[in-house]
Structure 1
Amino acid sequence: MSEPFDGIGELDVLVVGAGFSGIYQLYQFRKLGYSVKIFEAASDLGGVWFNGYPGCRVDSDHPLYQLSLPELWEDFTWKERYPSWRELYDYFQYVDRKLDVKKDVSFNTRVVAAHFDQEIDRWIVTTEDGLIARPRFLVLCVGFASKSYTPAFKGLERFEGICHHTAHWPREDVELTNKRVGVIGTGASGVQIIQEAGPKVAHLTVFQRTPNMTLPMRQKDLDATLQEQQKALYPSLFRRNKQTGSGFSFERYPKPLFSATPEERVLHWEDLWAQGGFHFTVSNFNDYSMNEDANREVYNFWRDKVRKRIHDPRMQELLAPTTPPHPLGAKRCSLEQSYYEVFNQPNVTLVDLNETDISEVTSKGILTKDGIEHELDVLVLATGFDSLTGGLTQIDIRGVDGVSIAEKWANGVYTNLGMTCANFPNMFFIYGVHAPTAFSNGPTCIEIQGDWVVQCIKHMKENGLTAIYPTPEAEAEWRGLVMNTGYRALVNSAKSWYVGANIPGKTIEPLNYTGGVNKYFEIIEGIAERGYEGFQFNPILKKGSQM
């Protein structure tokens, strides 16, 4: 572990968060010789991957889910097509050994406030334990899922058993074998923990509001020799990721669904299904995410595939309904290995919260509105996150007008390029709101944005500029583009975290740029090439504001 940072020095750059994006930023700024540190709330590297509930693993397949730096991938061998959180933890320890990351990280250091000082064009950053840093630039790498959400369940504090949100699972793990376990939520973490816990618990009770349209993972162990041979293609693979809409190396099928014959459709779907992972959504017909009729045909194929694995007709209807509750892909499709087989077990109960909602949490378990008390030893809250915006709004970030980012976004999000905000000079955020975040391969999006931020700051340093901020006009234009592309896509038609609908009181609107990673890359590179069009700069004029 690193020694605690004293917080006194006037840094060039302070990075918040030591996951993929934070480490990538540190690496790039170090290469330029800038003074840079990371503040990380957890006790080790990894960001979201420092946490590990049972079954937690990546849903982007090898080798796409890693940093593209040759000095890292050349010597690292993955064990599984979809690595578990434990393998990701090992990866981050390997990254530290190769790059000596931890020497510039202050762990257990949670940022609680950041206020911009116009007199010196620097941020005054305060941590929970009172450290102060004064960086010229503040780069927030907190990701899109760093603020967990737990609904206001009546009586939750009375529960006498073990209770954890999946985002805060203890490092020592929790014994589930032969226990009565309840899981609230069937999103990504819910699916993973259900299929992991199902075979070994005494009884599993799943509380579901909306079925997850999961996809087959097709998990497998990797051959180390073959992996080494494939590395010759990695440079092309990583470059290709920036050229596709999804940030993966594979792309949408180049035909509308109804222009294909029934035979072409079914053969293409069967091929995607056999490949597993996100091939079924990313490489489907090019209009299925925009055309409701095309989407319904894709859903029908999915439904029939899933129902063959479920024995009970009632379970079939609850897990793969005849009529879809929303378009396929309008909520995040999770990857599964044995999810549906769990519901064939006699010791598993599925509670449909649309029929009988949770009334309260008791000392013994959960009481539903039909009067049944489901007794539990362990309660798992797989209830998600205040995604995309929550990681920033939970920090008291205030710009030149004294308005906090939470106040600015209270009635709708305004950013420029999904990386900057008007009235918040020298502040950048990566892999968050108004970027391709939720619909892209994470590391691809992170590196595209990270490179842009690094080059922007390099431009400023080389030209004697102390502050950068987008104009309100540019911000309004970017918001308009996000809204216009978002409302045309079926992905924003469901009540999901994609649009903020999972958080009571949050403005419901598209929160991701849905025009594609490749188009996003083209736009932001063009902005930089045109001299950072839509931005204003402060030159070195003020006393004490030297770079």
Structure 2
Amino acid sequence: MTTQVTLTKTPNAQVTQLDAMVIGAGVAGLYQLHKLREMGMNVRGYEAGTGVGGTWYWNRYPGARFDSQAEIYQYWFSEELYKSWQPSERFPAQPETERWLNHVADRLDLKKDIQFSTRISSAHYNEDAGRWTVTTDTGETIDTQFLIACCGMLSAPLKDRFPGQDSFHGEIHHTGLWPKEGVDFKGKRVAVIGTGATGIQVIQSIAPEVGSMKVFVRTPQYIVPMKNYKYSKENWAKWGERFHELKARVRQTFAGFDYDFEAPPWADLTRQQRTDILEQHWLEGSLSLWLATFPEIFYDEEVSEEVSKFVRDKMRARLHNDPKLCDLLIPTDYGFGTHRVPLENKYLEVYLQDNVEAVDCRTAPIEEIVPEGIRTADGKIHEVDVIVLAVGFDAGSGALSRIDIRGRDGRALKQQWQEEIRTAMGLQVYGYPNLFTTGAPLAPSAALCNMTTCLQQQVDWITGCIDHALRNGKQTVEATKAFEDAWVEHHDEVASKTLVVKTDSWYMGSNVDGKPRRLLSYIGGVGNYHKRCDEIAAEGYPGFAMS
């Protein structure tokens, strides 16, 4: 099918007329474009990058790779598509994942309907017409009935993080905006700011080539060693035989993986039995230690402390019990799993190198970037040639807040979310008819899910909702205030029972000054969320007003 885009002349410019437009060409955006084309809609995708990939286009920093296994980080709508790609390893690196998403786009012939190198500047709802007027940074105006934002939950980098960044005489790069041509670290003095999942991948990857490296550590992270082995054709053929089993499985588990909490209750086990389970999952080398051992780590402080101690002991041994490094790199003020848990490969061993220094930013925070490097609160200037900003994102809400989105009565989404972050299941926001979202706050896809599982489920639900409306002669869909209120209340009730809300992290928006505090992800479980979405669809979408 070929999309026909209609251009209507106005007194000042041409306006692109669409039935639907999709923002973003990552995992969700590609699938959403495919689904709407299948419906026969006049649809176009818009992407800021020069190619497809979303996260896997922008995050091309050294060591970037996903931590969901290749066999489940997949599209599930086509068994043929699944079997047509051959991953080289269990956790493929960024270049391979970008190639995979290009493979998907080419197989489905999607690129002809995507406009690249185009950022969305504004989107204003026209109440009289029941349509959205969207503008781009290239000067284009789009008139569309449905607006589907697949902008990504981690796509708004905090790039202007420190005063004086423009004064630095060397190179400075944010991991989420990494240059395609790469960065030469060989023999250079390098600073890495941040030790979250991204920082860890960078640090362990560039350590062998730097002249020296200073890692600025504020919040230490619990880690799990990644076990990443190669996949042969025979391996992949076996996974292909399990396509339908895996497809069903990931929709039902707590976090959208193929593993789930299946151990007996913590209280029913002996100390040795608990340790055996933890050891088994530690050696398994995936996120299963976090998401498939004991759910009690999320809400029982005693269990959380025991599991945290298990991981601390593993980390301490790898640091050779060095008191300074252990104090700086091993968390003690929050529990395992209440932050995002990174997988790593000999990350801790980097700090045992003679040319690597861990700088304590708890006692001497970074004050500013100066021409020579980084000045900390103790007055010391750390002279470096390259600064890597692994300082994260305005997660969940940031991608949409950076667009001037205005709904009914001129309400501005950015302003609303500065006061309180609210959505209706992360699928719509009351007051913004015909605006649908994936990867938005208050859904598992905001951060606590194998992303391909949750993003595809949301795309399927959105497509079904639009189809239902049109088949019933309706032109607008909007979540009601009552439904949104009820979902926010339920979300908060579930979250309040966990230890996650007691921890400062980007999960809670704590990494962005002034951001309202609320758990960004729904933590009631992917399976439960999917079940509720399916019920709403089966009942004719109650809570979503159609007119």
TM-score normalized by the length of structure 2: 0.95
Distance apart, 1:3 and its partner CA: 12
What is the letter of the counterpart of residue 414 of structure 2? A
Range moving further from structure 2, 197-206 or 61-70: 61-70
1:313 and 2:323 correspond: yes
1:391 and 2:391 correspond: no
**Distance between the aligned counterparts of 1:90 and 1:151, measured in 2?**
30
Equivalent position to 1:49, from 48, 56, 59: 56
Contact 2:3–2:37 under 8 Å retained in 1: no
CA deviations on 1:97-145 (whole Å, 9 max, x unpaired) are 2111100000011101011112221111110111111111100000101
Contact 1:255–1:286 under 8 Å retained in 2: no
**Distance between the aligned counterparts of 1:131 and 1:71, measured in 2?**
37
Q: How does 1:47-446 map to 2 (within 5 A)?
A: 47-51=54-58, 52-68=60-76, 69-150=78-159, 152-311=161-320, 312-321=322-331, 324-437=332-445, 438-446=447-455
Distance apart, 1:152 and its partner CA: 4.2
Q: Any gaps of 5 or more consecutive residues in structure 1?
A: 539-547
CA deviations on 1:468-504 (whole Å, 9 max, x unpaired) are 1111111111111111111211122211111111100
Partner of 2:11: none
**Distance between the aligned counterparts of 2:195 and 2:275, measured in 1?**
28
Q: For 2:357, what is the secondary structure of its paired residue?
A: strand
1:484 and 2:493 correspond: yes
Q: For 1:410, what is the secondary structure of its paired residue?
A: helix
**Distance between the aligned counterparts of 1:64 and 1:490, measured in 2?**
28
Range moving further from structure 2, 187-196 or 488-497: 488-497
Contact 1:252–1:285 under 8 Å retained in 2: yes
Contact 2:397–2:440 under 8 Å retained in 1: yes
Q: For 2:374, what is the secondary structure of its paired residue?
A: strand
Q: How many residues of Structure 1 are paired with residues of Structure 2 in the alignment?
A: 535
**Distance between the aligned counterparts of 1:53 and 1:4, measured in 2?**
37
Distance apart, 1:227 and its partner CA: 1.2
What is the letter of the counterpart of residue 449 of structure 1? Q
> For the structure 1 residues 184 and 4, does the alpha-carbon distance in structure 2 shift closer, same or farther, using more than 3 Å as the test?
farther
Contact 1:210–1:325 under 8 Å retained in 2: no
Q: For 2:97, what is the secondary structure of its paired residue?
A: helix
1:10 and 2:17 correspond: yes
Q: For 1:401, what is the secondary structure of its paired residue?
A: helix
Contact 2:30–2:105 under 8 Å retained in 1: no
Distance apart, 1:446 and its partner CA: 0.6
Q: Any gaps of 5 or more consecutive residues in structure 2?
A: 8-13
Contact 1:151–1:383 under 8 Å retained in 2: no
**Distance between the aligned counterparts of 1:78 and 1:422, measured in 2?**
41
What is the letter of the counterpart of residue 147 of structure 1? A
Contact 1:253–1:286 under 8 Å retained in 2: no
Contact 2:297–2:337 under 8 Å retained in 1: no
Identity of matched residues, %: 37
CA deviations on 1:143-197 (whole Å, 9 max, x unpaired) are 1011111464232211100001111110000001111000011111100000001
Q: For 1:349, what is the secondary structure of its paired residue?
A: strand
Across the aligned residues of Structure 1 and Structure 2, the Cα RMSD in angstroms comes to 1.6
Distance apart, 1:409 and its partner CA: 1.6
**Distance between the aligned counterparts of 2:4 and 2:224, measured in 1?**
43
